[in-house]
Structures are given as C-alpha cells and as structure tokens.
C-alpha cells in the first residue's frame, strides 16, 4: 500500500485548457484537493507547484529549477504522450515519477495524416478557393484543370517512425494501394530487411510522413541536406512534433519547388510567431497548417483524460504505470 493513500493530496493541473471543455475527468479515488489553472506561464510554474504532491501538465515546461522548489512533489502526470517539456532526468534524480499517456491516438492521428495527404495530392484547398473566386464560371465547362491531381495508388509512402502511429499510417497507405517503406534510423543501416535506409526513403518516396518523438537526436531530422535528396518532389507531412523539420529549410524547399507540398500540424514554437517560416507559407495553395489538432478528436481526448486519471490512481495505489525513463 502506498503511503500517499494515508493523507489528503494536493493535485495541481497547470494547463486545463489544453483539453477541450467537453472533456471530463473521472474521479480520483483518493482524498485530494484539485487546483486547476486554465493555463500557466513558464515563470509561474515554480510557485504553482511548490506545495503540490502531484502535478498534471500537458505542454507547460516543467524544468529543474521549478522541480527544486517542489519539496512534496511525487508525480508529474503528463496529459500527453510527448515528454520533451518535462526535465525527466531532473525529476527522477529527485525521486519524482513522470508518467505519460500512451496509445490513445491510434486512429485520430493517422486519420489527420491522411486528411492532409489527400488534400495535398488532390489540391482540394486550391480548387475550393478557386471555385469561391468564380473560376468555375469563368472556365465555362463542367470542369477545369488549373491544379495537378495525383493519385495515391502505386505511389511510395515513406514513414519515419515505426511505433503505433507509424504502423497505423502504413495500414492506411496499403489500403490506398501505396507501397510502404519504413525508414532506418538516420545514419543507421542495421535495423534489418523490413527497413529501408533513411537516405533512400528521402530519394524514392512520393509522400513522406513523420511519426517520432522530438529528442536531441531527432531535432532538425529533415533539413537542407534531406530536401536535396528528394528526387521525386514528394509531399511532406508532420503530425508528430515541431522541431523535427528545420522550418527555414522547409520554406526554401517549398518555395523553390524541391517538394510538391507540405502538411503540418505542429511547429517548433506553438503558437507560431506571425512572421515565422511556416506562417509565411500559408499563402501557397500547396501548404496546409493546422493548429496541433491531429490528436484532438473528441473520443481520443476523452480516452486521454480517462488514462490520465488511471495513471494517477495507479500511482497513488502503489502500482505506477506508463512511467517515463530518462532518454
């Protein structure tokens, strides 16, 4: 039995507004006081968690200096899968457990990924805007061909990241008749016959999609060098993490025609500055930017919230689950 069960706990949720208003939290099974903040600025974190036993956080940075002031803290419960906003090593060094959410977005992220792929391959936004501008009437016939339309069947889908989401995207790609390639880790060729060297995936893919975490080893994974390898002028889709693609290099590649299009749901800084490279691409018909909502179907968010409370109950009950270890 956990000693935490014997005392009322203070639980602080730093950024409740990162879950939709319709999302409900299941009961936490132990005596507690829940302090909820709609959002928290980085400079407010230390003060707000100083007396917390458990902290719930989605995207607010929880760094070593804030952890040092939280003398009672025993658990940082992430309401997300990504852990890059929490100093996991510092937390573990202070005896603080970090847990995260896993395998909740197995449908919603792949669906959003293919929504972007289909919209770009078929130039749906460009045609919608042209119809709105009166181009159909100007054409004077039943259709017009201002923007190229590409099919998916027979094309090559390069997937960077072979976890649950990457594999689900692969299944959808095969259903559309695409040839699927899983990439080796960049710089490695020793992952076996089911994987294709990273550089070859860059060269031969018609669509490239990213499904991996942001770490020191994956930051700027796709940059100027990789865009230069893309012989087939693919479309590039990122529904994983901002920072995986160098945004200046993406801007240059898309505006120069090295790639045919790009669909992004994430940026390095969220929300982006109005003059950031990706915001400056929004005038192009072959670029789509959505506000980090690939994960956010209503059923997926509720599943996330349910798992979050399950993680907290399990930890208090002495059987921690979904524990994150330092990378």
Would you please indicate which residues are annotated as catalytic (active-site) residues? 241, 270, 292
3-state class of 262 per DSSP? strand
Which secondary-structure segment (H or E) carries 298? helix 298-316
Separation between Cα atoms, residue 173 and residue 249, nearest integer Å: 27
CA angle 122, 131, 208 (to 5 degrees): 20
Separation between Cα atoms, residue 103 and residue 309, nearest integer Å: 15
E strands within 90-145?
97-99
* DSSP code at position 17: G
Q: What residues are paired with 12 via a beta bridge?
A: 35, 55
Separation between Cα atoms, residue 48 and residue 66, nearest integer Å: 9
CA angle 137, 140, 141 (to 5 degrees): 115
Q: What residues are paired with 86 via a beta bridge?
A: 62
On whether the CB atoms of residues 260 and 120 are closer than 8 A, the answer is: yes
3-state class of 148 per DSSP? coil
Taking CA atoms, 50 is separated from 4, 17, 44, 54, in Å, by: 17, 21, 10, 10
Among 68, 55, 56, CA closest to 94: 68
Burial 220-243 (b: 16+ CB within 10 A, else e): bbbbeebbebbebebbbbbbbbbb
Q: How many helices (H) and strands (E) does the chain have?
A: 11, 12
């Amino acid at each position: 039995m956990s000693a935490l069960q014997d005392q009322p706990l203070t639980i602080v949720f730093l950024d409740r507004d990162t879950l939709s208003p319709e999302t409900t939290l299941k009961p936490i099974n132990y005596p507690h006081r829940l302090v909820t903040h709609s959002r928290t600025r980085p400079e407010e974190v230390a003060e707000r968690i100083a007396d917390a036993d458990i902290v719930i956080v989605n995207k607010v940075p929880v760094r070593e200096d804030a952890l040092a002031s939280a003398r009672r803290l025993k658990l940082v419960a992430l309401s997300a899968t990504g852990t890059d906003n929490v100093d996991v090593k510092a937390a573990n060094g202070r005896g603080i457990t970090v847990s995260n959410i896993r395998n909740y977005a197995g449908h919603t992220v792949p669906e959003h990924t293919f929504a972007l792929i289909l919209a770009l391959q078929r130039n749906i936004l460009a045609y919608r805007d042209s119809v709105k501008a009166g181009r159909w009437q100007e054409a004077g016939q039943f259709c017009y061909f201002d923007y190229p339309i590409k099919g998916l069947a027979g094309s090559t889908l390069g997937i960077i990241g072979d976890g649950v989401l990457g594999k689900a995207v692969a299944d959808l790609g095969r259903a559309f008749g695409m040839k699927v390639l899983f990439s080796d880790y960049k710089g490695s060729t020793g992952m076996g016959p089911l994987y294709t060297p990273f550089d070859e995936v860059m060269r031969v893919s018609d669509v490239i999609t990213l499904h991996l975490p942001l770490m020191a080893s994956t930051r700027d994974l796709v940059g100027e060098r990789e865009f230069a390898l893309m012989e087939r002028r693919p479309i590039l889709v990122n529904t994983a993490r901002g920072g995986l693609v160098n945004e200046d290099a993406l801007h240059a590649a898309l505006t120069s025609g090295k790639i045919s299009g790009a669909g992004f749901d994430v940026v390095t800084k969220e929300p982006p500055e109005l003059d950031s490279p990706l915001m400056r691409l929004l005038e192009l018909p072959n670029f789509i930017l959505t506000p980090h909502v690939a994960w956010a179907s209503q059923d997926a968010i509720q599943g996330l919230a349910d798992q979050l409370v399950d993680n907290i109950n399990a930890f208090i009950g002495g059987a921690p689950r979904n524990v994150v270890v330092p990378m």
